[in-house]
Structure 1
Amino acid sequence: MGEAVEFFHCNGFSKVNQIIIEENGCDDSWFEEEIDVDLKWSFALNKVLHKGTSEYQDIALLDTKRFGKVLVIDGKMQSAEVDEFIYHECLIHPALLCHPNPKSVFIMGGGEGSAAREALRHKSINKVVMCDIDKEVVDFCKKHLTANHEAFCNTKLDLVINDAKAELEEREEKFDIIVGDLADPVEGGPCYQLYTKSFYEKILKPKLNNNGIFVTQAGPGGVFSHKEVFSSIYNTLVQVFKYVLAYTAHVPSFADTWGWVMASDQPFCIEAGKIDKKIAERIDGELLYLNGASFVSSTILNKTVAKTLKNESHVYTEDDARFIHGQGVAYRR
C-alpha cells in the first residue's frame, strides 16, 4: 500500500523513508503512507509500539487512534486491529468452506498469526503449518497482538521460521489448503517470487492433495489499482490451475478494495445457502464479516475489473514481475 513511512507533527516536521518520533510538546503524531507518487493516506497515532529493520524488511507496530494496533511492513499497511477480520475471513474461510473436508493447512507468511487463528476455527483441521521468513515480525506480533495469543499456543499450530518456498520444497507431506498470506510484491521485497508461475507450477501445486485448494491475497483490487498486481496474479494462476476464482472486499484501513484469488483443479461450489450451512456446521464461533451471500457477491466484480481480468495477458515471472508502489529493504541497499 505504499513506500514512505512518515510522521507529521504540529510544527510540520516530517522525514521520508523512515519512521521518526519528534518530541515537540504537541499531542498529534500521524502515520503517513505513500500509496502512489501523488496519493497519500494518513491517520493519527497514540504511540509507536515497535520500529526497526530486520534482515528482510522494515517493521513497525503502531497504536493508532482510528484503527487500533497496526502492522506496517516496508512502509505498507499490512493489518489493522479493528478491521483485520475482513481481510482474514476473506483469505481463509472461502477456501476451507469450498473444500469437502479440510484437514491440513500450510500458510505462507502470516507472521501476525491472524490467518492461523481463522484456520484453527475449523473443527476438521488437524494441523496448521505457518511458515514466515521473518522471526522478528513473528516475535513482536506474538508479544503485542493479544487477539492471537490463543492461536500461537494451539497445539495444532506448527510455527516455522523459514522461506516458504524452501519449506515447501523440503517437506514431503501434502496439504489440503495452501494459503498465501504474503506481503505485497514490492521491488526489493522478500516475497515477490512466491507470486510467479514457476513457483505455483513446480513447487506449490505438487504439494496440494487431491481436491486441494490454493488461495492468496492478491493486492489492491480497486477500479484504479487492480492493474498493479491483482489482474496479473489472477492470470498467472489461470495458466496453472483449471478453476480460478477472483473476489474482492473493501478494507477500510487499506483505503481501497482488496483482492484475493482462489485456485484448484476441482470446481468450486459457491451457492450462498450451502456456504451458510457449512459455516454453521464447521466453524467455531460466529464470523463477523463473511456469510454465503457476501462471499457470492464478492465474486461479482465490477465491469472495469472484470474486463481487465478477462483480457489480462501478463504472466508473473521472476524476470517479468509487477510490483505495487513502494520499495523493499533489498532495493534500497
Structure 2
Amino acid sequence: MKAIERRIADLWFTEYQTPNLRLGLRIEDVLLNKQSKYQHILVVDTKQYGRVLVLDGAIQLTEKDEFCYHEMMAHLVLCAHPEPKKVLVIGGGDGGVVREVLKHDIVESVTLVDIDEEVIRASKTFFPTVSCALDDERVKIMPMDALVFVKEHHDEFDIAIIDSTDPVDFASGLFEQSFFEDVHAALTESGMMVAQTESPFAEPELLRDAVLGLRHTFERAFLAWGSVPTYPTGLWTYAVGSKKFDPRIQRRSAPTGLKYYSDTMHSLAFELPPFVKEIVNGGNLKEAKGN
C-alpha cells in the first residue's frame, strides 16, 4: 500500500484590488476576525509582510511597508506649513499618521476622528509600533462620523489629514467636493489638507475627480505620489490643498529617523509622471487603466 504523503496546510489571504487584479499573501496565523458595527476587521500574520490589518477585505496596513504611506501622509503637509500646531486626522484609527504627526515637536494637539472604535482597539492590541502615540496627552480621540465633525468646527485646525479607507459605504463622502469645502472651513487662514487619492492605474476617475474638487475648493491644489507596495498597483497618490502656502515648498526639515520621506523626497513627490498629469487634467482614463 502506497504511503500517504504529508499534507501541509496552505492558507492564503486574497485581496481583490480591482475586478481584474488581486494580491495574495500566505498566512501564518489569523489573529482577529470580527464584524464591527461598521465593517469587517481582519488581522493576520503573513510570511511576506508581517502582520496585516484588513478592513472589509481591503489591506489598510502591513508591518513591513506601513511607513511608506504614513510618512508621506503626515510629513508632506507638516513640513510645508511653517507652524502646524493644531492637527486634525480623519480616519486612521490605526494610529500610524498620529505617530508621524507627533514627531514634530511644534504640534500642540492632534484630534483623531474615526467612526470605528474597534479599529483603534485592534491596532492597540496587534500593532503596538503603529498605535504607540494614541495615548499621548496631546491626542484627543473622537469616535464619530467625520462628515458631522467637520461641519461643527470652523477656523480651528492648521492641518487636516484625510486618512480614509476606500470610497465605499460610510467612507464614500470623504472623497466628495462638499466634504473638501467643509474641511476648508475647518482650517485656519493658512491651513492645509492632504487626502489619499488611490492609484492612477486602479482608480483614475476617482483621482481626477478628487483633484478637481480640491482645485475648486482651495486656493492652491497639487498632487504628490509615492510607493506603497501592498496598495493596489503599488503606486499611490496624495492630493494636497492649501489656503495660503505652496505645499511644494518645504519650510521645515524632516524629522530624524524616517525611512521613506526626506527633504529631497518632498519636492520630487510633486514631480508627476506625464500620464498622471494627463489624468488630473482630464486626459485618457481608459489608457491609464490599461483598457
| TM-score using structure 2 length | 0.90
Which of 154, 168, 175 is the matching residue for 1:195?
Answer: 175
What is the alpha-carbon distance in structure 1 between the residues aligned to residue 154 and residue 253 of structure 2?
Answer: 30
What is the alpha-carbon distance in structure 2 between the residues aligned to residue 312 and residue 139 of structure 1?
Answer: 42
Corresponding residue of 2:289? none
Corresponding residue of 1:304? 275
Corresponding residue of 1:241? 218
Corresponding residue of 1:324? none
Question: Secondary structure at the residue paired with 1:191?
Answer: helix
What is the alpha-carbon distance in structure 2 between the residues aligned to residue 148 and residue 168 of structure 1?
Answer: 25
Amino acid at match of 2:54: V
Question: Secondary structure at the residue paired with 1:231?
Answer: helix
Q: Residue 176 of structure 1 contacts residue 213 of structure 1 at CA under 8 Å; is this kept in 2?
A: yes
Corresponding residue of 2:193? 214
Corresponding residue of 2:107? 125
What is the alpha-carbon distance in structure 2 between the residues aligned to residue 228 and residue 25 of structure 1?
Answer: 46
Which of 219, 240, 251 is the matching residue for 1:262?
Answer: 240
Q: Residue 74 of structure 2 contacts residue 100 of structure 2 at CA under 8 Å; is this kept in 1?
A: yes
Corresponding residue of 1:293? 264
What is the alpha-carbon distance in structure 1 between the residues aligned to residue 244 and residue 153 of structure 2?
Answer: 24
Q: Residue 112 of structure 1 contacts residue 141 of structure 1 at CA under 8 Å; is this kept in 2?
A: yes
The offset of 1:249, in angstroms, is 0.9
The offset of 1:240, in angstroms, is 0.5
Q: Residue 235 of structure 1 contacts residue 312 of structure 1 at CA under 8 Å; is this kept in 2?
A: no
125 and 53 in structure 1: CA distance in 2 versus 1, 3 angstrom threshold: same
What is the alpha-carbon distance in structure 1 between the residues aligned to residue 205 and residue 63 of structure 2?
Answer: 26
Q: Residue 112 of structure 2 contacts residue 142 of structure 2 at CA under 8 Å; is this kept in 1?
A: yes
Amino acid at match of 2:275: T
What is the alpha-carbon distance in structure 1 between the residues aligned to residue 7 and residue 34 of structure 2?
Answer: 24
97 and 34 in structure 1: CA distance in 2 versus 1, 3 angstrom threshold: same
What value does the CA root-mean-square deviation take over the aligned residues?
2.1
Question: Secondary structure at the residue paired with 2:134?
Answer: helix
Corresponding residue of 1:153? 135
Corresponding residue of 1:112? 94
Corresponding residue of 2:253? 278
75 and 292 in structure 1: CA distance in 2 versus 1, 3 angstrom threshold: same
What is the alpha-carbon distance in structure 2 between the residues aligned to residue 84 and residue 148 of structure 1?
Answer: 8
Corresponding residue of 2:46? 64
Q: What do residues 104-128 of structure 1 show as CA deviations (whole Å, max 9, x unaligned)?
A: 1010011000010000110100000
Corresponding residue of 1:90? 72
Q: Residue 175 of structure 1 contacts residue 209 of structure 1 at CA under 8 Å; is this kept in 2?
A: yes
Percent identity between matched residues is: 29
Gapped regions of structure 1 (runs ≥ 5): 1-23, 315-333
Gapped regions of structure 2 (runs ≥ 5): 1-5, 286-291
Is 2:85 the partner of 1:103? yes
Q: What do residues 232-262 of structure 1 show as CA deviations (whole Å, max 9, x unaligned)?
A: 1111111111211101111112242011101
134 and 124 in structure 1: CA distance in 2 versus 1, 3 angstrom threshold: same
Moved over 6 A (4+): none
The offset of 1:173, in angstroms, is 6.1
Q: Residue 160 of structure 2 contacts residue 187 of structure 2 at CA under 8 Å; is this kept in 1?
A: yes
The offset of 1:313, in angstroms, is 11
Corresponding residue of 2:204? 227
The offset of 1:197, in angstroms, is 1.1
| TM-score using structure 1 length | 0.79
What is the alpha-carbon distance in structure 1 between the residues aligned to residue 137 and residue 283 of structure 2?
Answer: 43
What is the alpha-carbon distance in structure 2 between the residues aligned to residue 253 and residue 200 of structure 1?
Answer: 27
Corresponding residue of 1:20? none
What is the alpha-carbon distance in structure 2 between the residues aligned to residue 205 and residue 171 of structure 1?
Answer: 10
Amino acid at match of 2:159: I
